[in-house]
Structure 1
Amino acid sequence: MNAAIRPVRPDDAPALRAVERDAGQRFRSVGLKAIADNEPTSEAFIAAILAHGVAFCAVDSEDAPIGFVLAGRLDHALHIYEVSVATPFGGQGIGRSLVAAAEQAARESGIHALTLATFRDVPWNRPFYERLGFVEVETIDWTPAFHLLHAAERLSGLPIERRLFMRKEIL
């Protein structure tokens, strides 16, 4: 499918939450029921990203969001907080297009790296990002912000032993 990519608008927030809720259901198959049952990203966080970060959505022929990426500046990189694609549209290159849009936005802002946190053992997480050129950031190389994000993930109940940070240098 050739989905169009456009900036997220404030009125897209409920649709983004629905996409995330749908995409999260896949985590049941890899023993992460808590992710599937978790409340999606808040509208307040989406509004904060719209005001201070980067947000793109993939839309269908009727301009309805079917995927999205939310990112913001963290340290000296653009940190991807969320990439979600609705289940019926998975495996069609939409996630790749959304990450490419974030990368282009970083490049245009003079930012030379993308970062993210993901699951090391989920087939559609780490391997997907590795194919896009991301590499694991070893714990010894974590920035203070990574340590804070890691602590927040632990407090939220994520299985932190399954998590890693990744980075991609961009030109």
Structure 2
Amino acid sequence: MTITIRAVAPREVIHLPAIERDAAARFREVGLSAIAEGHVSDEAFIRSIQRSGVAIGAASGTDGLVGFALAGILDDALHIYELSVATAFGGRGVGSSILAALEERARDRGLSALTLSTFADVPWNGPFYARRGFAAVGDDAWTPAFHLLHVAEHAAGLPLDRRMFMRKELA
């Protein structure tokens, strides 16, 4: 399987919510059905990321997009708002390839880190990122933006006791 990482084309924006919804279905396996049935990124948000952030997709031959990431500059880092890979393509290095491309985009912008918010105990979340060099950010080291994101996650009904911020310093 050959994966190509590239910018999400404007015509492809309408396909991202389906990939996100498919990827989110796995959260039922870990007692997070509300995530599986929750909101996905809407078109207006995705298009705003295309204008002023990073919207990259992972394409596989005739399958088209099989994964994507949405990120933007937050504080002093490229913050990953969403990274989703279609279930049928999980475990094949697609997420790792997307992360590598995000690192490159961060460096291109003169940023020295990647950040994200994720579930600490979900295998394809916190542990996945930890294996790729991300470290947990203790709440005593949160930036103002992390505090605002935490409030938004609370308002969205996410189980905050299972959430964490992570950061990867780039060489």
Determine if the TM-score, normalized by the shorter chain, exceeds 0.5: yes
1:74-113 to 2 correspondences below 5 Å: 74-113=74-113
**d(CA) in 2 for partners of 1:130, 1:139:** 17
Deviation at 1:41, TM superposition (A): 0.5
Deviation at 1:72, TM superposition (A): 0.1
Q: What's the CA shift string for 1:136-166, capped at 9, x where partnerless?
A: 0000000010000000000000001100000
**d(CA) in 2 for partners of 1:2, 1:91:** 14
In structure 1, the partner of 2:11 is 11
Deviation at 1:63, TM superposition (A): 6.1
**d(CA) in 2 for partners of 1:55, 1:10:** 10
1:150-165 to 2 correspondences below 5 Å: 150-165=150-165
Instruction: Indicate the SS of the match to 1:124.
Output: coil
Deviation at 1:12, TM superposition (A): 1.1
In structure 1, the partner of 2:55 is 55
Instruction: Indicate the SS of the match to 1:118.
Output: strand
Contact 2:2/2:61 (8 A) holds in 1: no
Deviation at 1:85, TM superposition (A): 0.2
**d(CA) in 2 for partners of 1:169, 1:63:** 33
Q: What's the CA shift string for 1:67-103, capped at 9, x where partnerless?
A: 0011000000000001100000000000000011011
Q: TM-score, normalised by structure 1?
A: 0.98
**d(CA) in 1 for partners of 2:39, 2:12:** 17
| Structure 2 residue ranges without an equivalent (≥5) | none
In structure 1, the partner of 2:124 is 124
Deviation at 1:9, TM superposition (A): 1.3
Instruction: Indicate the SS of the match to 2:61.
Output: coil
Alignment pair present for 1:40 and 2:40: yes
**d(CA) in 1 for partners of 2:3, 2:88:** 13
Instruction: Indicate the SS of the match to 2:117.
Output: strand
In structure 2, the partner of 1:115 is 115
**d(CA) in 2 for partners of 1:141, 1:39:** 29
| Structure 1 residue ranges without an equivalent (≥5) | none
Deviation at 1:10, TM superposition (A): 1.4
